[in-house]
Amino acid sequence: MRGSESKLTMKSCRDLPSARFPEYIKSANNRLYNVIWSEGPLSNVFLVKKPWEPSVRDAMVELINHLHVSYPCVNVIVDENVADELMSEGSSVDKQLDSKVEHVVYTGTKKEIISKTDLLITLGGDGTILRGVSLFSNVQVPPVLSFAMGTLGFLLPFDFKNCMSCFALVYENRAQALHRNRLECHVVRNADTKVCHEAKEEEVEVATVRNKRKRSVTEMEESSDHPVAISEKQEMIHAMNDITIHRGSSPNLTSLDIYIDNEFFTTTYADGLIFSTPTGSTAYSLSAGGSITHPAVACILLTPICPRSLSFRPLILPCSSDIMVRLSKTNRSSFIELTVDGISQQDLHPGDELHITSETVVVENDKIKKQKRNNGRSAEAGEYSGDGVEYNDKNGIWCVATNQNQWSKDLNSLLGFNSSFKGQQNKKSHL
């Protein structure tokens, strides 16, 4: 499809080469990993943007033009909603494109895009990263290069004005990435409530149709990126930030039975629970009183939301923990809400079980010792990091980073860590 006299052409990504993932090589005395495509440079770049934001759209077009001019072998992919947005703004888009170069942008279904993406580039805030990564929920996630153009920017190490040099680092195998762990969420439904779930799904489908009729064009574009319908049908979902169970609109506290490593831990009465990755420790978990955790720490954070018992404090559990939460049959409400990275899932009912584990691989002690004896050597991709954890290429999320100390800088510049109220007035953001 082609816009009227437009410099930009849209084609299907179906015939593009299949995705190729890089190797992640750890350097000695550094938490970051070198990102290397050993079989030749990357080919396909998937761009994700904050929807219908003119400044972000202009930035995306600028990046597309740069890639077409400087890297003619790189294919640019966008989702169907962004493709429609670019084509609908034909005149303003054409003004930014070099007329001497052919500009072809590829699009397709989510399944097709997943199978073709070598590198994920996000333009927006932290929510844009979560939306882009959620597309790869149950498959291997390509490396993520993110640029700060949104409201929040704790996951955004790069300013867009440096986009050309940043992409050059990635393309030339000179970039480094930080491994961020994900959580696996498995929902086991109680057989006695299957009929209730099926009825609930029908209600959700009807409500979705009704809501779409009422929404404006802009809201429909934003909601089309919202993978609720897909998530509801999945048995396993991955979370980059957090998994939350909450009483929602119910006036009653939830009654939750918590098991850790197949042993009963406690029953809590609270508004809900948050299970967070270290990456998500600065999000909802922090607002609920949870600890701030460095993203390189392999752990699971368990944070209660307004518990009735004041002695139920936030916990930091090892990444080897197998956590199970069951909605007690004595719970006064017939359901509680489940969200993964802010995306609503199918409600939990009495007898349903929520199993949460870490995606990180835990290494046995003898292998840890073997790695510690070889501290002077660089670890190959998928080998042991020296802290008892194996960062396999296929698990977690590899985020291109500036340096290994970016986290501490963000704590001070974005969160105003340990600063006075007076100091907050002079706080500067990198956005």
Q: Identify whether residues 162 and 202 lie together within a single domain.
A: no
Q: Final residue of a domain: which of 360, 388, 409?
A: 360
CA separation (Å) from 282 to 144, 277, 293, 295, 415? 19, 10, 8, 10, 9
Q: Decide which of 207 and 126 is more confident.
A: 126
**If pLDDT is split at 50, 70 and 90, which confidence band does 119 have?**
very high
Residue 268 structural domain: 183-360
pTM: 0.80
pLDDT higher than threshold 80 for residue 88: yes
- The answer to whether position 143 is within a domain reads yes
Q: Is 188 helix (H, G, I), strand (E, B) or coil?
A: strand
Half-sphere exposure of 334 (CA within 13 A, CB side): 5
**Positive or negative: CA dihedral 245, 342, 321, 140:** positive
* Residue 413 forms part of a structural domain: no
Same domain, 111 and 236: no
* pLDDT of 233 above 60: no
CATH number at residue 341: 2.60.200.30
Q: Which residue type sits at 11?
A: K
Based on the fold, state whether residues 222 and 350 are members of the same structural domain.
yes
The number of folded domains in the chain is 2
CATH code, domain carrying 49? 3.40.50.10330
Helix (H, G, I), strand (E, B) or coil at 423: helix
Per-residue pLDDT tens digits for 362-387: 544 444 333 333 333 333 444 445 45
Average pLDDT score over residue span 119-131: 93
Same-domain pairing of 169 and 281: no
Assess whether 147 and 220 both reside in one domain: no
Residue 190, in any domain of the structure: yes
pLDDT over 80 at 198, yes or no: no
* Shared domain check, 187 and 176: no
Do 174 and 197 sit in the same domain of this protein? no
Q: Cβ neighbours of residue 111 under 8 Å, at least 6 residues apart?
A: none
Confidence class for position 212, pLDDT limits 50, 70, 90: very low
pLDDT for residue 426: 57
- Residue 422 pLDDT > 80: no
Q: Are residues 166 and 198 in the same domain?
A: no
* Judgement on whether residues 99 and 40 belong to the same structural domain of the protein: yes
Last residue of a domain, one of 327, 343, 360: 360
Q: How many CB atoms lie within 10 A of CB 184?
A: 16
Residue 379 lies in a domain: no
Domain final residue, candidates 158, 180, 202: 180
